[in-house]
Chains A and B, each alone.
Chain A
C-alpha cells in the first residue's frame, strides 16, 4: 500500500509542477496582459477605478541584435533616461533574436490571438507584409505633430510609406558601402575609383597571383543573399530593381541585365574576384580587414569591426556607377513599428518613446555607439557627432554616401518575389543561365507572383 501512495504522491507532485510551470509563464506575460484588460475595460469611459493614474502604462519593445555592438545595454540606457523623464510610462525591452525572429514572434502572437508588444524594431522592408496582415498601424496622426519628419534622410523614409500612409519611423539604419584599402591603392599609384570601369581596372590591378593561387583579391562581393549588395550596381548602371509602384519590378530592364553581367565580368573578364556565388558575408569583411582583399562590398554596419582590426587606412564610399562621377548605394536596416493590437494608451506611450528615440542628440549617440548611420541629417550637426567624425572620418564618408542612396528592395509579396530573384540571380552568377535569360525568367515569374496584388 505504501508504494501505491508514493505513486499517487509523485503524480500529484508532477501535476503541481506542471501547473506551476504554467503559472510562471503567465506571470512573465502578466504586465502586458493586465494592462490590456485594464485598458479595454476602461475605454467605455465609466467611473475611474479606485486609484486614478497611479499605475504607469507598461509597454514592451521587441528588438533584434543585428550588429556587433552592445545593443541591449545601449537601449536599456535610453529606456532608463526615458522613464526618468516620463514616470507615467515603463518600457520593457525584449531581446528576440534576429530580425526574422522578431517578425515571426510578433506575427505568431497576433495570429494566435495574443497581445503583441506595443513596439517592434523590424526590417523597413517588411512594411507590406506587416500592413497587409493588419499587424501594424499607420502613424500619420502622430507624425503630423512631430517636428522631425522632414529631417530624416529621404532614403531612410523611402520604405516607410504605403497606400499614402506612414507606417514606420527610421531607427537602426545602414547602407551599402564600397570599402577600399587606401594603402594598397596608394602603393599601386591608384586613386579611389570614380566609375565602374575604373573600379574594374583597379580590382584587376590589385589582384595578386602566385602561380595559380591568388594571394590577394582585388574585390570580394558576397552573393549568398545577393539582392542587397547587388542593388547599388543596378542603380549605377541606370535602374534600381524596384520603382515607385509596390507591385512592379525591373529585373529584365537592360540596365539591370548589364549590372548582372558586370558582376560576372569581375571574375570572368577581369579575374579580380572569386568566380560564382560567394557565400562570404562573414569571411569577406575578415579578409578585407586582414589585408587579403583590396575592396569589398559590405554593410556600413561592419565599419566599426573592420576599423578595429585593420592596420591600414580604410576608405568607404558609395559604389561608382557607369558614368564617371556617378555613385549609388541603398539603405538597409530596421525601423520602429507600433502594433495595432494594443490599447490606445499603449500606442500613445509607444509614440512618445519613438519621439524620444528620434531626438537628434540621441540619434547621434546611437550612431556613434553602434556604427549605424544616424537617421537624421541634423544629428550630423551635433557637437558629439562632429567630434566623432573628426576622429573617425569613415563615419563621415558613410554619411556622404547617403546623398546617392536609393530605396531597398521592398515590394508586395516580398518573400516570394525575393526568392525568385535570388534563384535566377545566382543561376546567372554561377553560369547556369545567361544574364539576359535569367533576368527574363525572374521577371516573368515575379510578375505572376505579383498578379494577385495588382
Chain B
C-alpha cells in the first residue's frame, strides 16, 4: 500500500482525486450551484407567470427585496420561522441526547425502547401528519384526552387556534426527529473511550459530572453535526404543514419554505420567490458557518 501512495505522490498531476470527486462535483454543480446562481439572477427581475404582460422577465434591481421586507406577511413568516426553529432544534437535540442515554444502558427491553424512539423517523412525514391530525382533533382527540387526564382545561382546538397551530406543527417536528438524532448520540456514546470514565470514577466524579463534564463535551462533534442537520431540517421539512394546517389559520403556521412554495406555485411570482430563496440560502449559510466556526474554536480551546 505504501508503495502505491509513494507512486501516486510522485506524479506531477494526479487525476485520481479529481476523478473521484467528479460525480459529486457534477451533482452539486447541476443541482445546487446552478439553481442558486439562477435564483440570485432572477431575484433582480420581475416575472409573473400568470400575468401575460409580466411573463417575460424585466430587470427591476432590488425591488423584489425591498417589497419583501416591507410586506407584513413576509415579516410574520420570518417570525414564525424563528419561533419554529427555536422551539424545535434545541428541544429535539436535548431529547435525542436523553433518549440515547436511556437506551445506551444494558437493561431489559432496551431494544423495544430503541425501536419506539426511532419509529417516527421511518414514517413518511405526510403519513405521520395524517395520524397527528386525529391526535389533534378537538373534543375526543388523543392529545386532548391525555391532557385532560392530567388536568389541562385550556384551549383544545390545536390546528384552528392561531396561538396553537404553530406549536402543533412544532410538536410533530420534534416527535419526528428526536429519535433520528438519538441514533447519532447513541453511536457517539458507544464509541467513547471507557478509560476516561474509569479515571474520572477513581477521582470521585459523580454520574452527573461525568455526563455533562465528560460525555457531552466529548460528543461535541456529534452535537455539531446534529445541530446542523436539525437546523437545515427545520427549514426543509414542511410536508406536515400541507396536511395539518395549510399554513393557517391566517398564516399563523406558515414558515419560510411553505411561503416560498406558495409564492412560487400559487402566486406564480418567480422574482419574489427567487428573492425568498436567496434569503433562505443566506440564513442557512450564516448559521452553518457560524455553528461550525464556534464549535471549532471551542475545540481548540479544549486542546
Contact = CB atoms under 8 A, between A and B. Distances in A.
Interface stretch (B110-118, B171-179, B261-269, B281-289): B261-269
Nearest to B27: A18
Nearest to B51: A452
B250 A427 contact: yes
B248 A276 contact: no
B4 A3 contact: yes
A423 B250 contact: yes
Nearest to A132: B50
Contacts of A18: 23
B267 A430 contact: no
Contacts of A329: none
Interface stretch (A71-79, A337-345, A382-390, A411-419): A411-419
Given A133-B55, A225-B246, A432-B250, A279 B160 contact: yes
A3 B3 CA distance: 11
A132 B54 CA distance: 10
A213 B245 CA distance: 25
B177 to A, nearest CB: 23
Contacts of B249: 224, 276-277, 426-427, 429-430
Contact of A100 (B139, B160, B250, B265): B265
B133 interface: yes
B220 interface: no
Contacts of A275: 157
Interface string A85-111: 000000000000000100110010001
Interface residues of A, number: 49
Nearest to B251: A423
B273 to A, nearest CB: 12
Contacts, number: 113
B161 interface: yes
Nearest to A214: B139
Interface string B116-142: 000000000000000001101111000
A419 B16 contact: no
A229 to B, nearest CB: 14
A1 interface: yes
A18 B51 CA distance: 40
Contact of A134 (B20, B55, B157): B55
Contacts of A432: 162, 250
Interface string A366-389: 000000000000000000000000
B160 A278 contact: yes
A279 B246 CA distance: 10
B266 A453 contact: no
A414 B50 CA distance: 9
A277 B157 contact: yes
B157 A276 contact: yes
Contacts of A452: 48, 51, 54
A283 interface: yes
Contacts of A107: 49, 265
Interface string B214-256: 0000000000000000000000000000001110111100000
Q: Is the interface of A mostly helix, strand, loop or mixed?
A: helix
Interface in A194-227: 213-214, 223-225
A419 B262 contact: yes
A223 B160 contact: yes
A11 B160 contact: no
Given A224-B159, A282-B133, A11 B20 contact: yes
A430 B20 CA distance: 58
Interface residues on B, range: 35 or more
Interface in B1-51: 1, 4, 16, 19-20, 23, 48-51
Contacts of B268: 129, 133, 415
A103 B50 CA distance: 13
B52 interface: yes
Nearest to A423: B250
Contacts of B269: 416
Interface in A313-364: none
Contact of A4 (B4, B50, B134, B138): B4
Contacts of A128: 50
B240 to A, nearest CB: 13
Contacts of B52: 132
Contact of B19 (A11, A280, A424): A11
A339 B126 CA distance: 30
Interface string B145-179: 00000000000010111100000000000000000
A430 B162 contact: yes
Contacts of A3: 1, 4
A3 B16 CA distance: 13
A415 B266 contact: yes
A291 interface: no
Contacts of A190: none
Nearest to B20: A11
B78 to A, nearest CB: 17
Contacts of A213: 139
Tell which of B20, B23, B138 has the most Cβ of chain A within 10 Å: B138
A56 B32 CA distance: 40
Nearest to A18: B23
Contacts of B19: 11
A430 B160 contact: yes
Interface string A1-19: 1011001000100110010
B15 to A, nearest CB: 10
Nearest to B8: A4
Tell which of A103, A419, A429 has the most Cβ of chain B within 10 Å: A419
Contacts of B138: 274, 278
Contacts of B267: 413, 415-416, 419
Given A277-B248, A426-B248, A104 B157 contact: no
A432 to B, nearest CB: 7
Tell which of B19, B23, B267 has the most Cβ of chain A within 10 Å: B267
A279 B133 CA distance: 9
Contacts of A419: 262, 266-267
10 contacts: A3-B4, A129-B49, A213-B139, A224-B246, A274-B139, A277-B157, A283-B134, A413-B267, A419-B266, A452-B54
The 6 lowest CB-CB distance pairs between A and B, nearest first, are: A415-B266, A277-B160, A279-B159, A426-B249, A277-B249, A426-B250
Given A277-B159, A430-B161, A430-B250, 14 more contacts: A3-B4, A129-B268, A134-B55, A224-B249, A276-B160, A279-B160, A282-B134, A412-B50, A413-B267, A423-B248, A423-B251, A427-B249, A430-B249, A452-B51
